[in-house]
Amino acid sequence: MSFLIVVVILYWWLRSRRKPKLSPYMLEQFLKITDPIPLCGKPDVVWKTRDGTLIVGDYKSRENQQVYESEVIQLSVYKLLVERTQNKPVADYGFIHFKNRNMKKVYLMKEKEIIALYHRYWNVIGGEVVAFAADNKNYCRYCSHKHKCS
Amino acid sequence: MRQTSATELAKMGKCERQVYLDHHHGEDTSLTATFIKRGNHEHEQFNRQLSGKDKRCFIATAIFGIDAIETNILREFRDVHLIPYSPGRMITSLYYSISPYIVNVIERYPVLKIPIRAALRWFIRSWR
């Protein structure tokens, strides 16, 4: 019995000394780049793995674990910002953290795709291309432009 | 080329028309103000947890409330009598790994709050 207690205590002692799989590397730090495109943002968290790879994470204050396209875009931009400012390897996936302490792994967009989206963004604003309406009509419920939008 | 934030670019994944209209007519957040306020508060909590400024004490928080006197006394007990010592840190780490499950059980069966509240009050009284 006492041997078992010693083993349990030893296990918890070793566990408490062990380096965590993920430790916070950066919290809500504003990042800005101009190359390849001018982007900025403030990732909620950047994790560091035991092997030194950085992983971007974003917190969502909801329990529903569905991941939306806009969140993948946001995380992908964060990944590009971290990659260009930290000179450390960055994982091609990120984490979405939910209110109930769950997290979901999300594969991110490639740099080329972000650059293309950036150009489309400014083309939409300039009225040079037809702007698509939301696929998900739930977005329209809380949109302040719902009366103007046909 | 103009500076664009991750949040702005992310709107492209929701609705391109909204991106256009926000830019030309301004963004009105009155419909989403409540969500934004709640989200900001929860972001702060998330940040506090990760930065080590987390005032965790799961069971006491579930029983007495996040900033109750009893919860703060138990936090003080943890910080003064447990954290400075290696066995204390071990107990704290063990407690943090099992307490979320205990809290789930307490939330499912609120009647359990009565004996746990009494036990914690007895502990606080005998410690002080």
Provide the number of CB pairs (under 8 Å) joining chain A to chain B.
143
Contact A16 B93 (CB under 8 A): yes
Top mean pLDDT of A1-10, A40-49, B27-36 is at A40-49
Determine the average pLDDT of the residues in B16-31.
82
Contact B16 A124 (CB under 8 A): yes
Q: What is the pLDDT of residue B124?
A: 87
Contact B30 A144 (CB under 8 A): yes
Class of domain A19-128: alpha beta
Contact B3 A40 (CB under 8 A): yes
Residue B4 has pLDDT above 60, yes or no: yes
Determine the average pLDDT of the residues in B107-112.
84
| Cβ pair A77, B9 in contact under 8 A | yes
What is the chain A residue with the closest CA to B43? Answer: A59
Q: What is the pLDDT of residue B126?
A: 84
Higher pLDDT, A91 or B90: A91
Residue boundaries of the structural domains of chain A: 19-128
Report the mean per-residue pLDDT for chain A. Answer: 87
In this prediction, residue A83 has a pLDDT band, given cuts at 50, 70 and 90, of: very high
Which residue of B1, B18, B93 is in closest CB contact with A37? B1
Higher pLDDT, A77 or B71: A77
Residue A68 has pLDDT above 70, yes or no: yes
Order across the sheet with A31-33: list the strands: A31-33, A39-41, B4-5
